[in-house]
Structure 1
Amino acid sequence: MSSASNILQEPRYKDTPALLLFEIYALDAVGELSAQKREGIEQLDLKKMFNVEAGDWKAAVKQILKLSGTIDVAILDRWYTLKEQGEADAEAFARDLADEYFKDGSAVDVWPEGALDAANRHIEECRAKGL
């Protein structure tokens, strides 16, 4: 993704830009968003493209995709689980998570009783370990 003009022209994203937006959001949430991708997303005028009122690009993506207030917990919990298993390829993680998130009946950000608290504890434990 070398520039804002071609970022949405890649075959995976051309007809489904929501995938790209979610992937970039997820990469940022786990601290793995490259400077090149950050520059590309910042160059896009998401507020104008999608007619949203949000401030920065991340707030715009949350508004465009109607992401919940707990999406970062869902992303981080899954990311740390992969890191604990030694399978932490950020790009693959973001792609796979975006695919899963947009499937019908997705449970990516669905929290049965106690699950959100458990996910938050898991994230805290992983951060304490330096993951």
Structure 2
Amino acid sequence: MSIFDTPRYKENPSDIFFDHFVMDVIGLLPSGMSENLDAAISTSGGAWRQKTKQLINLSDTIEIAILDLWYRNSAILESRGELYDPYHFAVNFVDAYFAENSQVDQWPGNALEVAKSHIREAQQREADATQCAQSAAFR
């Protein structure tokens, strides 16, 4: 059975690329998967990402929407002592994106700037935590 035969992808095969696009944006695409996705749509060097954006007609701010929701939702789960599985996040994101009256990747007022700021802060916290862990390893 091919992955395209699963119920999620049988009806909408492009979802497999969007799901994996989301996982790539958050930096958690499984090793080797980029090459497999390139091969599936006859691209190379990670060009599957750009082709996916074009095929699905994704905006130039989609990565911001993905990262903003990833950091926000991950923090909520982390506060409960849970971790957000990257694949489940990707599926939830794609489903929310295509939902009727979706507000995903919509930026009223200063929402885009707020999202960018939130992402910078979350990435700085990650960098600080990594640096702290590396320092502790050398003690």
Q: TM-score range by the shorter chain?
A: 0.7 to 0.9
2:34 corresponds to which residue?
Answer: 38
User: In terms of mean alpha carbon deviation, does 103-112 or 36-45 score higher?
Assistant: 36-45
Q: Distance in 2 between matches of 1:30 and 1:63?
A: 19
Flag structure 2 segments of 5+ consecutive residues without an equivalent: 128-139
Match of 1:76 among 67, 81, 85: 67
Match of 1:59 among 22, 38, 50: 50
Greater Rg, structure 1 or structure 2?
2
User: In terms of mean alpha carbon deviation, does 31-40 or 85-94 score higher?
Assistant: 31-40
Cα deviation digits, residues 47-93 of structure 1 (max 9, x gap): 7xxxxxxx810000000000000000000000001221214211110
**TM-score w.r.t. structure 2 length?**
0.79
1:117 corresponds to which residue?
Answer: 113
Q: Distance in 1 between matches of 2:41 and 2:88?
A: 26
Q: What amino acid does structure 1 have at the position aligned with 2:53?
A: K
Q: Distance in 1 between matches of 2:31 and 2:6?
A: 19
Q: Distance in 2 between matches of 1:7 and 1:46?
A: 18
Q: Distance in 2 between matches of 1:32 and 1:105?
A: 28
Q: Is the 8 A contact 1:7 1:40 kept in 2?
A: no
2:12 corresponds to which residue?
Answer: 16
1:90 corresponds to which residue?
Answer: 86
Q: Aligned residues, how many?
A: 120
Flag structure 1 segments of 5+ consecutive residues without an equivalent: 48-54
- Name the SS for the 2:50 alignment partner: helix
Q: Distance in 2 between matches of 1:103 and 1:18?
A: 15
What is the deviation of 1:43?
Answer: 1.5
**TM-score w.r.t. structure 1 length?**
0.83
If each structure's helix is expressed as a fraction of its own residues, which one has the higher value? 2
Change over 3 Å in CA distance of 1:46–1:9 after alignment to 2: farther
Q: Which runs of 4+ in 1 moved over 3 A?
A: none
